[in-house]
Amino acid sequence: MAWFRSLIRVSAVQPRNAVSSPFSVTSTLLSLRSLSGEASNQPQDPQPVPIQYSGLAPTRPGEKPRVVILGSGWAGCRLMKGLDTELYDVVCVSPRNHMVFTPLLASTCVGTLEFRSVAEPIARIQPAISREPGSYFFLANCTGIEADKHLVHCETVTDGPDTLDPWKFKIAYDKLVIALGAQPLTFGIHGVNEHAIFLREVHHAQEIRRKLLLNLMLSEVPGISEEEKSRLLHCVVVGGGPTGVEFSGELSDFIKNDVHQRYAHVKDHIHVTLIEANEILSSFDDRLRQYATKQLTKSGVRLVRGIVKDVKAQKLILNDGTEVPYGLLVWSTGVGPSSLVNSLEFPKSPGGRIGIDEWLRVPSMEDVFAIGDCSGFVESTGKPALPALAQVAERQGKYLAHLLNKIGKANGGHASTWNAAELGEPFVYRHLGSMATIGRYKALVDLRQSKEAKGLSMAGFVSWFIWRSAYLTRVISWRNRFYVAINWLTTLVFGRDISRI
């Protein structure tokens, strides 16, 4: 047991950040002692009460200032990537340890891409989180913010009721960046949360894929009625924005290229319906919308204009009383503020987002910034609300990283030490355009600055090639770019993977 005595002696010498560690060294040693056969055969000394640190304490003079980032979406990850870790310790709090490349998420639902191709680990985006003594990633949810005390309240994420109880802790910050994203809008419609599947996370795509393949296999079981077979194989998508249209296009390709070959017994029963209250792809050029409508219809997607009134276990009801039976229901009707954002007593922008000024600061909240889908300009700035797009979040993250690095170099990184006069140019967003794939090797590219402005817009195979090339270059790591390229090639040569794992 020499190794164990050495471990105790080494643990007695606490490093610089030991007081700030959220984990108990003593409780870890007690666990090791209980696993030691030699220790179990000897008389047990009275065991000290484990010290359970409540969180990360405020930074001390001489230490690097701490930036706490809530969220691991486009905005938070772009910020982490750009922060100078020579100036700051970085702490990220998020219920997932990866970033999702959402533009390609629909492709994973039908096996065009594998799930790991669109998930980028946080540790690869900002390696300092794994190697620097003062930087951490915590798999947890933020439950509250005390801006006057520079404290964030957190609770660890658990995996089901049979796992460990959630651990509550606090983190002191010098700079806080809220990048919590948004949650899907259900408009208070009964049954949506219980019966529909959203498409915002990898686990959503996994659920859609398993449900789709299960329904295909169940529909071949002897004794299933024609009516039940048609219901099982009816895929309904609610929401005609880019996500809903791209998923419908991917699904129609999957049906034509894979289902017709591998599920020949039920190929005539499977169909897709896209329900939208207004026009599909409302932010795109009129000519592109008409092209998309024509191509989707030609692909076998049934377009229905209507408003969902109620959602039941096997059917949904429209406002005109029409009942639409379904086997798979995907809900993609936009996003809104999360429950945590709604609960925060912060200034709010129109629409309920966290209010920010031209430098992405939360007014009247010292050292607090907000970026991404959870934020919006307050009315006093005179700026319009920014769309909930990945490119908006990414560019806000890039801007704020540059701003915080500038503040850190001016010795303003610690809490309450920076001068607002040093901020420099405010954030300005310029729209780079929109793209969407509609299946059958066709896509839409709209490079106008706004819906009313003039600019280049195109559709067809060339647009599809531009869409794929653009997103392949936007994938964060070379590892995932390689995965995506290989997946595309494999699908082209061998077809989609239809294994239900």
Judge whether 500 and 217 are in contact, CB under 8 Å: yes
Query: Quick one: which of 367, 318, 362, 315 has its CA closest to 341?
Result: 362
Pairing relation of β-strands 136-146 and 151-156? Answer: antiparallel
Residue 442: alpha-carbon gap to chain centroid: 26
Q: What pLDDT is recorded for position 422?
A: 74
Judge whether 73 and 181 are in contact, CB under 8 Å: yes
Pairing relation of β-strands 335-336 and 354-356? Answer: unpaired
Q: What pLDDT is recorded for position 34?
A: 36
What is the token pair recorded at 105? 């998420």
Query: Phi and psi for 298 in degrees, rounded to 5?
Result: -65, -30
* 459 three-class SS: strand
DSSP state of 220: T
Q: pTM of the entire structure? A: 0.86
Q: What pLDDT is recorded for position 47?
A: 53
Q: Which domains does the chain have, with CATH numbers?
A: 26-34+51-182+337-422 (3.50.50.100), 184-336+431-494 (3.50.50.100)
Judge whether 89 and 129 are in contact, CB under 8 Å: no
Q: What pLDDT is recorded for position 501?
A: 78
Q: Where does 20-167 show beta strands of DSSP type E?
A: 55-56, 66-70, 89-94, 98-100, 119-121, 136-146, 151-156
Q: What averages of pLDDT result for each successive group of 10 residues across the chain (501 residues)?
A: 37 39 39 38 48 76 95 97 96 96 95 95 95 95 95 89 83 97 94 96 96 94 92 96 96 92 87 95 92 95 96 96 96 94 94 94 95 94 90 96 94 86 86 92 89 83 95 93 96 88 78
Question: Which class for 473: exposed (0-12), middle (13-18), buried (19 or more C-beta within 10 A)?
Answer: exposed
Query: Quick one: which of 327, 96, 91 has its CA closest to 210?
Result: 327
Q: Look up residue 300 and give its amino acid.
A: G
Judge whether 403 and 359 are in contact, CB under 8 Å: yes
Q: What pLDDT is recorded for position 268?
A: 87
Q: What pLDDT is recorded for position 260?
A: 87
For residue 469, the surrounding DSSP H or E stretch is helix 461-474
Judge whether 391 and 372 are in contact, CB under 8 Å: no
Q: What pLDDT is recorded for position 45?
A: 52
What is the token pair recorded at 449? 């600055």
Pairing relation of β-strands 335-336 and 183-184? Answer: antiparallel
